[in-house]
Amino acid sequence: MPKKSENDASPTQNSRIIRVRDLPIYYDPKTDDIYRYVPRIDNDQQKRINNTNRFQTSINQTRQSIQQFWNNSKELRLKISRKLEKGQTYAKATVNYIRDDQTFYPKISVVTIAGLGGLLLGQKRSVLRKTFYSSVAVAVALSACYPKQSVNLLNQVHNRIQNNSQKNNQSVIIKHNDGIVHTIKNEHEPVISVGDELYMKLILHIDRYRLFLSLLLFTLIIQMASSDTKTCWPELIGKTADEAVQVIKDESGLSKVHVCGPGSRTTRDVDDERVRVYVDEDNKVTVQPTVG
């Protein structure tokens, strides 16, 4: 019977094959996850944790619902933005048409509608308030239809009042129940010679303050009406010089519209009543025209 060699690798009863993954250095979830350390938590702490989890869950749900609604309403938002742009364009075109010097009947219609609106606003008021509301509405409509003329008129009235108020050494005689009071108005405070000082100061200054407040209110109304005057035209880029000049004159009412070609010399001074149109060699607008 032949002897077994020492290099014989046949298995015996006591032999066992060990694979690499059976070594203890590797993780075995079946045997290693038997025990787990769980820290002890008080009831108050557990309640706070539960409340925090609920709050986070509600925030996540709300955020997801808002995001889903925002994504689903994309087409609706596009439609609304397009309608708003169309309405804005139509409103600007209507205002420019009404402010045109050649349109007389539209201005009359706007002023009439404004006056009727003032009467309707003071329908349940007294006659004085009806007159006041309708007058204010008509003044606002006229300021909106004729912004430049209104500003010029207001400046003329303000300059005339200021020139009259700067005159010195004006004697004023005022009749009072207690007698005749002779006042001398100089560049400082008025000097009262006879009578009640406080009463006479009120009499002298009440008309001035009333006129000042009226002018201030009228100035604010005119500025609000003329604040939307167009000052730049980005849509004219790429248009011809003649088209740009005509559009600027129609929309702004300015007469100083200069065309600047390539290589032309221009000054750097600022003029609020001038518009420069820069064109290239093909007579196309290259920079948006701006007032100044």
pLDDT tens digits for 267-285? Answer: 655 565 678 888 888 888 8
At residue 240, the pLDDT reads 87
Residue 62's pLDDT is 92
For the full predicted model, state whether its pTM sits above 0.75.
no
Strands 256-260 and 274-278, by their bridges, are parallel
Kindly tell me if the per-residue pLDDT of 69 is higher than 80: yes
240 DSSP assignment: B
Going by DSSP bridges, is the β-strand pair 170-176/179-185 parallel, antiparallel, or unpaired? antiparallel
Residue 145: how many other CB atoms lie within 10 Å: 22
Read off the DSSP letter of residue 137: H
Separation CA 124–CA 133 (nearest Å)? 12
pLDDT in tens, 17-50: 777 766 666 566 666 656 666 677 777 777 787 7
| Angstrom distance (rounded) from CA 266 to CA 260 | 8
Mean pLDDT of 56-70: 90
pLDDT exceeds cutoff 80 at 147: no
Supply 220's token pair.
């604010």
CA 120 to chain centre: 30
